[in-house]
Amino acid sequence: MRTKKKASPEKSQTAVKLGPRFLRAFEFAAEKHARQTRKASTIPYIAHLMGVSSLVLEFGGDEDMAIAALLHDVVEDCGGAPMLKEVRRRFGSRVAKIVDGCTDSDTDPKPPWRERKETYLRHLRTADAETRLVSAADKLNNVRSILADYRKVGESIWLRFNGGREGTLWYYRALLQEFLRREPSRLAGEFELAVRDLEDQANKRGPRRSFSPSSVSRSPGR
């Protein structure tokens, strides 16, 4: 007997209903991130979390995944491992699993940046489809924000990031390669467009660097 292959989140045709749990998650995220803003801006951090949750819903995620999107940074930025236990208690094991899968560090101090990112990239290789979708939505929202600010402030944008220009470009190239490695998806396609746009903008403003998947592992870190 042949086992029916489970559909990926993006292929779901069921209408998503958001209920009281989603509202509680929004309030929880808004409270925990209340004093945080996006890098080098006065934009409340909740704007990023709302953007990621919106993308998750747009690309086929359900309520648990949308909740995880709202909470995807709460462990890393607001309490570490004990916060993950709180997320599990309040919102369930599935949400906690996705949040954990989108967290690259739950310790303070965090490991060195390059080490964290390489570990996270290895983790993504075996992550389940719903965790990868939330992660890709997070990274897409980030790249789009970087692009918008890059067009405004130019090369000074790289001062916001620990490793500067080359480290940021390396990381998003590596993420792109990973998100394209499995079955193609609309979200991966949108991420590819954004990363290539960022690459093009960087090439126009600085030394030209060609992009190919084989160059990812050799790219310098930040």
Q: Which among 77, 86, 166, 197 is annotated as catalytic?
A: 77
Question: 90-99 as b/e, with b when 16 or more CB fall inside 10 Å?
Answer: ebeeebbbbb
Q: Which residues pair with 37 in a beta bridge?
A: 44
166 is catalytic: no
Is the pLDDT reported for residue 118 higher than 80?
yes
Sign of dihedral through CA atoms 196, 199, 203, 207?
Answer: negative
Match 């126009």 to its residue by tokens.
204
In SS3 terms, the chain reads as CCCCCCCCHHHCCCCCCCCHHHHHHHHHHHHHCCCCECCCCCCECHHHHHHHHHHHHHCCCCHHHHHHHHHCCHHHHHCCHHHHHHHHHHHCHHHHHHHHHCCCCCCCCCCCHHHHHHHHHHHHHHCCHHHHHHHHHHHHHHHHHHHHHHHHHHHHHHHHCCCHHHHHHHHHHHHHHHHHHCCCCHHHHHHHHHHHHHHHHHHHHCCCCCCCHHHHHHCCCC
More confident residue, 218 or 79: 79
Q: 215 pLDDT exceeds 50? A: no
Buried b (16+ CB within 10 A) or exposed e, 17-26: eeeebbeebb
The answer to which of 86-95, 100-109, 128-137 has the lowest mean pLDDT is 100-109
- 44, amino acid identity: P
Average pLDDT value over all residues in the chain = 88
pTM attached to this predicted model: 0.86
Catalytic residue status for 178: no
Task: Tell me if 45 sits within 8 A of 61, measured CB to CB.
Answer: no
Fold for the domain defined by 18-218: Hypothetical protein af1432 (1.10.3210)
Q: Which of 32-41, 143-152, 199-208 has the lowest average pLDDT? A: 199-208
Q: Comparing C-alpha atoms, which of 218, 207, 144, 134 is closest to residue 177?
A: 218
Domain boundaries, given as residue ranges, for the chain: 18-218
Given 76, 130, 138, 190, which residue is catalytic? Answer: 76
**Segment of 11-15, 58-62, 156-160, 204-208 carrying the highest mean pLDDT:** 58-62
Residues 5-56 have pLDDT tens digits of: 455 666 655 788 899 999 999 999 999 999 999 888 889 999 999 999 999 9
What is the pLDDT, as a whole number, of residue 53? 98
